[in-house]
Amino acid sequence: MKVDLHPRQYTVFHDPHRYKVVSAGRRFGKSFLAAATHFYEAAKSTKVRSDGLEIDLTTDVVYYVSPTFKQGRENLWNVCMDMGQGIIKNTRQNEGEIVLTNDRIIRFKGMDDPDSLRGVGLSYCVLDEYAFMKPEGWEYIILPALMRAEGGALFIGTPDGKNHFYDIWQYADKSGDVDWKAWHFASADNPHLTENEIQAMAKKLSKEALKQELYASFESSGGKVFNADMFSVVTQEEADREHGEFVISCDLAGYTQVNARKGKKDILDDHAIAVVKVTKKGWYVYDVINGKWDVRETALRILRAWQKYRPTSLGIEKGIAMQAVIPYLEELQQKHQLYFQPFALSHGNNKKEDRIKWALQGRAEEGKIKLVEGEWNQKFLSQAIDFPNSLSHDDLIDAVSYTDQHADPSLGWDMQVYDEWQPLDDLAGY
């Protein structure tokens, strides 16, 4: 198996320290380094411990641990399948298991279920995006499992402020412990990234996110994401003068059962339909139509918004609410002879808080999100100021954030976000 690592990856890969901690910016190549490390460690059949005893590693597993099992499999499985051609004996994708030709096993695990990590001996473990994991999993489960084989670990990820990832990076860098070593890399340390690509990513980020995501800085303001001064209110006449294209994003509310015997359902949040003109100067939010409506009225509101603004694209958040509203929308289209094809807006397995921040914070800081004056303005600003308070609603700002998915797809990139949030309904995503 031949693996081409860029110079910074190579430095970490061949370093002999038992525990390695890497803070790296987005697109540095963390996943590729993780995959290469797995195969290198799993290719070993025996090991000589510090006491001189040679031990058989056949029954010891190599772990790849991510914040959630699903996220880890989506991030790294295909990379491993491509990299491991010729040395993979068989796989069980649903269980996240790769068996090599020497019968050693690489197993994917999620730190969201720490108990699933127990019960095996480990020869090595990669903890990817450690900043978003529970540190107890390393301290109480993984570290003891490495003891028999004197196994090592690679902690790798992008910072999330000064949390436990910062603590372990500091220990590896400053303590003088001969088993530990730390590295710090920016996104630009990947020689395969062009300056144009880095600048394109940077344009979408706030100042705080830029330091954290591209420069892998542990510094974080820890304050609120938005303030009212970030959003200027303009007249429709001013907005009309700007050349651009309308897009409409529909964030439909979920439902929860509140009376099982009567089958009654209660709307958790407002439906929100964001109408945004995308221009070279930024986004002009013409309206965020919002309210608690039944499915038929929701479809009618969407149709009316399309009829009034004639957007170049209209997206509806993927989920059971979209499935419910589409038949009514199709019926109305036929009735009024108005035809358009909505597309599914995806949460992309991303935490809502981070998805909103990435779409809006950088633009808002630069004054590139302007609100066309209307009755909805105050509600939008109130939600923005309260964000990300879990006790406050965020349906209006969430709808506007979806503009990013069809307004400027060329600047999209592989943001990875991890959380422990569980939906009330797996199909709906709420």
pLDDT tens for residues 247-299? 999 999 864 443 333 334 444 568 999 999 999 999 999 999 999 999 999 99
232-411 is a CATH 3.30.420.320 domain: yes
The pair of structure tokens assigned to 128 is 């990817």
Q: How does DSSP assign 155-199, residue by residue?
A: EEE---SSSHHHHHHHHHHHS--TTEEEEEE-GGGSTTS-HHHHH
The confidence score (pLDDT) of residue 75 equals 86
The answer, as to whether pTM is greater than 0.75, is no
- What pLDDT, on a 0 to 100 scale, did the predictor assign at position 204? 72
**Beta strands of 333-425 (E only): which ranges?**
343-345, 369-372
Question: For 136-149, what is each residue's pLDDT tens digit?
Answer: 899 999 999 999 99
Residue with tokens 């603004």: 309
156 has which bridge partners?
22, 128
Compute φ and ψ for 345, nearest 5 degrees.
-80, 135
In this prediction, residue 162 carries a pLDDT of: 79
User: Domain 7-213, what fold?
Assistant: Rossmann fold (3.40.50)
Question: CA-to-CA distance for 317 and 285, rounded, in angstroms?
Answer: 18
The whole-number pLDDT of residue 298 equals 95
> Is-contact 59 47, C-beta < 8 A?
no
pLDDT at 390: 67
Q: For residue 291, which of 385, 379, 404, 387 has the smallest C-alpha distance? A: 379
Contact yes or no for 413/26 (Cβ under 8 A): yes
Range(s) for CATH 3.30.420.320 in the chain? 232-411
Residue in the block written with tokens 């002879």: 337
CATH 3.40.50.300: which residues of the chain?
7-213
Tell which residue, 273, 283, 271, 268, has the closest CA to residue 315.
273
Q: What is the mean pLDDT of the chain?
A: 86
- With tokens 């009225």, the residue in question is 297
Q: Contact, 28 vs 116, CB < 8 A? A: no
In tens digits, the chain (430 residues) has pLDDT values of 778 999 999 999 999 999 999 999 988 999 899 999 999 999 999 999 999 999 999 999 999 999 999 989 988 999 999 999 999 999 999 999 999 999 999 999 999 888 889 989 999 999 999 998 988 899 999 999 999 999 999 999 988 877 899 999 999 999 999 999 999 999 999 999 888 888 887 877 777 677 778 888 886 544 568 888 899 999 999 999 999 999 999 999 864 443 333 334 444 568 999 999 999 999 999 999 999 999 999 999 999 999 999 999 999 999 889 999 999 999 999 999 999 999 999 876 677 888 898 899 989 999 999 999 999 999 999 899 888 876 578 999 999 999 998 765 433 333 333 333 344 444 444 4
